[in-house]
Structure 1
Amino acid sequence: MRQIFKLASYIASLFRNISIRTRLILFFVLLSSLPLIILGYISYNRSSNAVESKIEYFSSEIFAQSARNIRFTMDIIDLSCREFKMNDEAIVQIKKYRKDKDNLQDVKTDLNKILSAKFTNVTIKNCIGATIISEGEIIGNTVSYQALRNLDITEDDIAAAEEGKGNSVWVVERSKTNKQNYILVLNDIYDEITGSKLATMVVVLNENYFYEVYKLIDIKEASYLFIMNSEGMVISSNDAEQIPISHNYSNQEVVEKVRKQVEENSTENVQIIKGSVQSYIDNEKYIFCYSAIENTDWYIMGAIPFGYVTADSKAIGMAIFNVGTVIFILAILISLIISMSILSPLSKLEALMQQAKDGNLNIFIDDKFRDEISFLGSHFNEMLNNIRNLVSRVSNSSQQVLKSAGDVTGLSSTYLNSYEQVALSMAQIAQGASEQAENSQDTVAFVNKLSDDINKVEDNVKSTVEIVEHTKTLSENAMVAVDSLNKKSLQTGLVSEKIFDNINILNTDMKQIERVIKFIGSISEQTNLLALNATIEAARAGEAGRGFAIVADHIRKLAEQTREALNSISTVIRDIQEKTKVTASSANETQIIIKQQLEAVGHTDNSFKAILKAMDEIITYMGKYSESVNAILKSREETLDAINNISAVSQETAATVEEVAATTQDQITGIEELTKQSKLLNRMAQELNESISIFKL
């Protein structure tokens, strides 16, 4: 909030450089005209947009209805064509011709009667006639000879009719002979039984066939009305000179915009049927409204001048401008009148203030009105009355001040001489006290240095004691560790002896196992020998000893497997014996090492006991040394206190003398300043008398 107030104050200060009259006129015009301008601008824009959108919408609706009317007009022809194709007599005549070409004249006569009943200018306005073509021959016709001669029905037209597959195909042809444009409605006629093509019917329409629809379009300003296909070719126009028929429309920008708008806004299920685009014709802006004609790729188009659409909104804008101009002029006139009512009394007040500035206080403002300026004049009169009274009192006071200032100047000179003598004496006393304080400070410095050295010795003694105590603690811990190591070494020795004994027992057992294996081996060899003898005996027995031979062979094989197993066991036992010997040797060496370790542990234990005893003696001596240092420190403190007392007394004396000297000097300075101020007061009193003398009371 404070920042906003500061910003407002700053902005207000900028306007102080502009006269009040200019400010009043400027702000009154702005406050009265600016809202109207903003409101008018918004109203103009909204009304313009609303009018333009409404006109575009209704124009699109009109063209949509016109598209339906054109579709209805086209349906009349389509319906007539379907009725003809459903006429049994006509179909019979066509088949009759196709069956026998010699019947051409009879067929023509009959078909011409049927065609004349439906396709003439009497039955359908602007219908020139119709013709039936079968196998390249005209077999029926109601078109005049001259028109038929000018009309050139090409193979492309016949092919277009085939693409319609029985539906009407609308095309525009331009005669090469008379340059006349014709609208052709092409229909193929099929046999309902076989489905084969019988003939092609061509209905010829005048280029003004859709002119009646253009008359129904109630847009007076729509200067261009025409029908074009999706490729931009003009099918029909209300002004063939401006928009030639059977030619591509000259403004291809409109064609592209319509095609693009239809493609962008159409979906697979929804086909855009109406809309509008904007373009220029001869540098004039137009709105082109279009609407698709059902079941064709045709669009009915209308070009409406943009000026016609914006005419009403421009009229509204002009009315707003005229009203705004009148209000602007009235605002200036009213602001001038109000500024004159303010500035006229202010000018009078300014002139009287100028007289008061020149010293004339004997003036008076006579303003009987009741606005703020009148109150300002009344306050100005009161201010002048107060100033007159003040000037009168100041004049009397200045005379008295002038007399008193002279007396003060004389007394201050006398006091100044006395205080200068006192200041000189105090300066000598202060110098002696300062020298004594400096000597005391030097002594204190030496004692403090000695005290610092003693404190360092004390700190070193404490550190040494702490290190010795820590070393003793470590020694005691080492003693405990050595004792534990000694016990573990004894236990290790006992375990090693047990291991050595177990290894010797294992070695003895392995030798017994070896003897058992040798015994089993001899039995296996004997079994093998017996099995061999049994095999020989069985062979001698012949067929009777065959079964015994088989048993003997199995026994021999088992004996061989036993021998192989015994060899493997012997190898393993020999390896175990070798490893047992190595383990026994290692165990024996371990016993020797353990004995040596026990001796070393004993020596270490004795060494730590000696160190521990020495540490106790060092701690005792360090305690006595610390007591001596503490006694020295106590003496140092007493000496330092005494010296500090002496130094403090000397410093207090010096400080007191300096304070007295400073006070004396301040008094001298004050007296000098008093003398100076009394002289200045005397001069100012004289100047005040001279200044007051210019006022007229």
Structure 2
Amino acid sequence: MVSNKKRRTIFVKMALTNIVILLLSLFFVGYISHKKSKNAMENNLEITSLQILKQADKGFSEYLNKMTQELTILNKNVDIKDLEDPAQDYKKTQQYVQYALKSIKESLSGIDNVYYSAEHGAVIIDSEITDESKLSFRDKDWYKKAKENTDKFIYSEPYVDAVTGNNVLTISKAVTGYNGEFIGVVGIDINLSEIETYIHDVSLLDYGYIVIADNNGKIVINNEKNKTFGENLSGFEFWDTLKNSNQEKTKWMNNGELTFVLQSIDEKTGWRIVGFVEEKEITEHLSSIRNTIFIAVAVFFTLGIIASLILTKTITEQIKKINIGVRKIATGNLRERIKVSSKDEIQELAENLNTALDSISGLLKEIDSTSEEMYDSASGIASMSEETHAAVSEVANAINEVSNGSTDQATAISNVTNTVDGLSNRIDDVDKNINNILNLSEVTDKLSDDGLKVLNLLIEKSVVTKQNTQESSSNVKEMTDSIKNINQISDVISGITEQTNLLALNASIEAARAGELGKGFAVVAEEIRKLAEESKDSTDKIKSIIKEVNQKSIRFVDSMEETVNILNEQDESINNTKNIFIEIAESIEPLVEAIRYISNLTDKMNNDKENVKKEIDNISVISQDVASVSEEVTASAEEVTATMDELTEYADKLDGIAENLKEKLNKFEL
């Protein structure tokens, strides 16, 4: 049940992931499409609006061209020139000129007045003829500019005509006589309502409109759709951009709403034909495009979900096969192999799992074989531990014997010391007696008897001392033999510890091969190795101590041999002394000479006595050292015994681990 839940979770996660990715992708595509469509429509709007503005400018220019063409005709009219010829009938010529002006007015719409203002004389209007006393245009700007620029058409600023009250534009042109002299100005007053109607009729898309402004921003031709700017554009920020850079287009935010501002500059008047197009011109079209994109996204999203679910189901089915195979493997069936035919990474995963199973199966077979060897090794370690324990026990017993022998030896040496002290006293007595003999020759016989008694006692003590010394030497030799035995046993222990260390190392290697299952065995093997190292260190320490004891024993034997030699010499001296006393008893005459000889021998004995005493003291110290070393060796032997007990315990544990490992391996079908 848990496995199915997990599989469904993977299915849901993959499906949701694919859906989210698909949704984000479609959203991104839709957003980019909408953005590009908007940019394209804005660009198209600007291009179309500029084309409309240029077309309106072209129509405006053509309208003005018609007016200038008429002014050109008037400029070349001979009747106007004849007004300056006195030979002509002036009034009749005026009528001809007036007729020409009237004809032009009637031929074109939008003209309020057509007139000619002479430099010196009357003013002829299409509707009347008057003199300069009643009406004069010579003070008008358009008149002055025309006079100054005889070869150009002059366009005035828009103004309100004083007669008609209409907003008009005056186009004027200088007139020259037959000789090229300036004689007056012809002009046409254009009613701007005609141009305003034309501008109103120009459709700037659906919601846009056009106005005409002069260079100062004053609106010359307004539009009824203009609800924002009033009569002047100069107060708005876009105007500086249009005026200073002469750009054809710019954008302006009007209360949060984007407005496209475009212009076309008329070459004749310098006026600016300005178009205003609001953003809603494209938002309505964008709305339909956005709806189309939304429908397309919805359709592709639905198709994507279906494809994603199918793909996800296919993948999860393959994962299910792998899961079933892994579940069988988890029960210990390592013969199971996973079969997937998706021809993708999932199939590669299944093949890798099968390869891993082959490796694990082979590894477990090797572990099974190794566990048998480990079991045998553990048994061997346990057996060797028991043998080592027995050997260590023998070492302990031998050391106890050495310790006991050292104690006896110390006691014997103490007796020898006492005997030597007694001998020293006797030698002092002999010396005194000799002096008495020298001083009291009359008591020679008695002293001779006493001397013989002392010599007999000295002989007895010498015999005892010699026996004790020989016994001490024999004990030391026995101790030396025991030390050799201990050294041999230590070598056996060293060999055992080295073999144990080697076995522990082999066990660690086998544990490393066993991988995770061999970690516990590796720990035990490491502990065994450490114990073997400690045993080896203890054995080396014992051997060092034994070596030191052996050296001291050798020195002790040498000292004892020297003591025996001294005792032999002493025996010889005593015998000589005895003979002398006999000779003294037999003959008193050589008494003095013999006593002197004995005195010399006594001095020598006194010196030998001191040497013997020193050697005995040395033997006593050595005996104490031997006893101390024996105690240390005994303690080390006890530590080795405890270590071997632990080694035996770990060997038993290793045996149990090997048995447990074998039982666990039997659970797998290899």
TM-score between both structures, scaled by the size of structure 2: 0.49
TM-score between both structures, scaled by the size of structure 1: 0.47
